[in-house]
Structure 1
Amino acid sequence: MEGYRECRLCEWHCGVDRLQGEQGVCRVGRAEVAATMCSATLGSYIVTLTGCCYRCLHCNAYRISQYPDPGWYYAGYVPPAHLVAEAKERIAAFAGPSIHTISFTGGDPIIHLPYLQEVAREMKRQGLGCGIGLSTGGFATEDAMAEIVRLCDVTTLEVKAFSDGVHRALTGAPVAPVLRNAAYLVREGREKIRVMRTVVIPGMTDGEIASIAGFIASLDETVPYRLIGFRPNNVLYYHPGPSRDEMERLCEVCRDAGLTDVAWSGYYPEAVPDEVATEAARLRSTYGGDDAAALTAAYAAVTGCPTHPRDCGACPLRERCPATLREPWRGR
């Protein structure tokens, strides 16, 4: 864990001794685990670490990324040997698709690179045949980025904005290191890129998409690029998100810029979805002609909720309730 001493893992170059409790911009010491889970979608054992080198106004995990300031507390420091042993046990018990990586997210795990290195060594010691995954905002130093490319098998890099003004306003940090690291990742680790992505915030980052897409295309037009529709969070809790038409339009902008693999998820609907409206009409008589109850129940029904009127006590699926396990945006 010596990499935490005189810390220069990110581009703030704070130089503090995090092992002795000194605090840099990220405000955290050694790695602390907020949560772990097996992700069927990603085929990964996800490890969420606290702390971040950014102060993003739109962060949907700000209670984790801005730890310890929000006052929420988590699992704390988990020794790498314990983390890997627990991962082995949970992966073995997981009933979903095969897990092929232990993937770190946050916050931004680049500030915990020494912990990732030790986890990788421990995976070899314990014979856990998985790769290392990383999701990052790309504010690593050049040396840290080189180590990330060497260490990680799968990387997601989020380019939050292209212009320095918007990037600083949104994250509190300059954009130049991110663009430099994106170029390095494409040049030295193209096969390790899962996606590059940007959150589309109307009036803020939507105007940045064409420039980001053009920049990525200039590096390699085949790099997968994903647009994520903003949902109210943190300081931007009352800011509007994009429409479906806007997300479609921006994908075309990216293709016009030269990218060949572009997709989006998440938008602000302007009406009740057709499938929900159809289900509400079907359930109207079940709920005694109560339109409000039928519409409300229809959202549960389209997930697969089988008992109507809803009755969780009598439900055959109560141990695997589809209404609580579904993440709707994954199907959009």
Structure 2
Amino acid sequence: MSSVLQVENLGISFRKDKRWVKTVDGLSFSVKKGETLGLVGESGCGKSVTSLSIMGLLPAGDSMIEGSIRFQDKELTELTPREYADIRGKELAMIFQEPMTSLNPVFTIGNQMMEAIREHQKLTKKESFAHAVAMLKKVGIPRAEEIMGEYPHQLSGGMRQRVMIAMAMSCHPQLLIADEPTTALDVTIQAQILDLMRQLKAEFQTSIIMITHDLGVVAEICDRVLVMYAGKVVEEGAVREVFKNPKHPYTIGLMKAVPTLTTETERLYAIPGSVPLPEEMPIGCRFAPRCSEARDDCLQKAPPSREVSDGHYTSCWLYA
């Protein structure tokens, strides 16, 4: 199956106090057509920054990208702002964590939906209105025609997120990036949104990158998973394989931190320490200061990525 997106040796740096600080270092992965890839890790691991680099939304002048981001036959790192604007929203789309900050409060839902549609499709105003209403109905929004005339603040959080999904899917993009799309929603709405994304993926054969720290969401919707820590991938593979047989101590720690219904504990497990700041990265394995399995090698050299089973890779000296 052909890859829709191919990221190779991606490095992302930001300007801080007259020097460049690297937040993502040597990141490589691919997304196949119709595949859902989960990107997991704690806050500060570089997940959202990676997604913004793919969308071309990093601040110009204060950020620097190294490596390659290849989308279909285009090298995204070489596109001009105008060329990026032509594919963003049409072939590449993104759903953000908080729809209230993504939707313009002074324009109606219909105005914002139709702007996105008319920007990329040769449709009349009447046709774009009909297409917008059809997409709102497709994502399960009742009284779609009335909603077109309402403003974002008049809708609930779940409804706003459905509008964002309808807007993102309105031009049937090849790749959809969802950055924690269910974080601010309650459990029943979260389940509906995930089910909706699964249906749209099946209908349009859209590839999805799902960014989340919720392992339950990954198990529910993803085919493959990339576990990120401090700007690097520490483990990757099929969701079933990684969850059944996690290898990296960080992945094991993340899974131990998920509460279960079958075991009683007085305190939930938490990985000791926190993610290091980009300017304070350890010399060897970046997880070593927090790792119970750390030894001398871990503190001196970064571990190589090794295949521990078919399609299952980890970067840890325990398997090197």
Q: Which has the higher contact order (CA 8 A, sep 6+)?
A: 2
Say yes or no: TM over 0.5.
Answer: no
The two structures have a TM-score, normalised by structure 2, of 0.33
The two structures have a TM-score, normalised by structure 1, of 0.32
Structure whose residues are more often helix by fraction: 1
Point out the structure with max Rg over C-alpha.
Answer: 1
